A and B are shown apart, each in its own frame.
Chain A
Amino acid sequence: MSELTPEQVKHHIKTYVLVFIALAFLTIVTVAISYLDLGVVGGVVLALIVASIKGSLVACYFMHLIDEKVTIYWTLIATVVAFLILIFVPLSTMLAQAKI
């Protein structure tokens, strides 16, 4: 990242503007789909998909993740795995309990 040329930076700026437009649009989409009646599971899944797309855009382009080397990726993979465990495992104990 420290070794970017001015031309490369200008190209990045174009990308930032495009991403901003996409994010703004997706925000409207997020609110709009909340008015649809999709049931709890459908609503949650769709909301999380849209949020994940927005989040990925921020991470890849604003945070330059798409230009990074493996070190950051390993860190993030480990974090995502730990995060998913934290979210889904307690939930599964709750759901299993409800079934007893």
Chain B
Amino acid sequence: MDIPFTVKNRPDTGLYNGKLGVWLFLASEVMLFGGLFSAYIFLRTGVEQWPTGSEYLDIPLATLNTLFLITSSVTMVMSWASLKLNDFKKFKIYSGVTLLLALAFLVVKYFEYTHKFHVGYLPSTNNFLGIYFTMTGLHVLHIIGGMICIFYFWIPGAKMWESDPERFTNRIEIVGLYWHFVDLVWIFLFPVLYLL
């Protein structure tokens, strides 16, 4: 006996199990980052002085990073769409580009962080930097987690396309949902930390 609705949708919910699972997981992630956003608001409203983002952060670089991540979201959904159109080669290309863009994001972040450490801006320096490093740091961990998943289906796990293409496509959709969420967090993180 197999567990039902792992691949096919359950009629009344219109979902297969994995998709519902990842949406619920994303709900918990909204609350996780929500806790940190709430902390940011609480800390900022609790003090007289709070620096603006431009005092410590490089806005053009972060804007570039935002564009990297948005583009990676497009390539991610395109990789799924390619599978729906039975084009495995295109899937590979789009997945690869997604990984490249994510890597670019990480590289920019690496330069941002090391520059700050170099001039003595640490999380302990003040709460602005503290919350900046914590929130972007947690976001970076989520990017890395996503990259591991995308890479897994790009190379080692890709053979499932041969044995169970529908299930494989669903898995890519699920990874995509997670990846779009990570992009979504940045869409809010960027203006809040850098621009306000």
So, do A and B actually touch in the complex, CB under 8 Å? yes
Mark A residues whose CB is within 8 Å of B: 1-4, 6, 9-10, 12-13, 16-17, 19-20, 23-24, 27-28, 30-31, 34, 43-44, 47-48, 50-51, 54-55, 58-59, 62-63, 68-69, 71-72, 75-76, 78-80, 82-83, 86-87, 90-91, 94-95
Instruction: Count residues of chain B with CB under 8 A from any CB of chain A.
Output: 54
Q: Which residues of A contact B42 (CB under 8 A)?
A: 90-91, 94
Q: Which residues of B contact A50 (CB under 8 A)?
A: 191
Closest to A33 in B: B195
A2-B196 CB under 8 A given contacts A9-B85, A59-B184: no
Q: How far is the CB of B14 from chain A (nearest CB, A)?
A: 4
- B7 contacts the other chain (Cβ, under 8 Å)? yes
Contact assessment for A2 and B7 in the assembled complex, using a CB-CB cutoff below 8 Å: yes
Name 17 interchain pairs, CB-CB below 8 A, sorted by A: A2-B16, A2-B169, A6-B84, A9-B85, A27-B66, A27-B67, A44-B196, A51-B187, A59-B184, A62-B73, A69-B15, A76-B27, A86-B34, A87-B37, A90-B41, A91-B38, A94-B45
Compute how far the CA of A72 lies from the CA of B71 in the bound complex, rounded to whole angstroms. Answer: 26
Q: B77 on the interface (CB 8 Å rule)? A: yes
Asked if B49 CB lies within 8 Å of chain A CBs, one says no
Task: Determine the distance from Cα of A31 to Cα of B57 in the docked complex, in whole angstroms.
Answer: 13
B183 x A87 contact (CB < 8 A): no
B177 interface residue per 8 A CB criterion: yes
B1-21 vs A, Cβ < 8 Å mask (1 yes, 0 no): 000000111000111100110
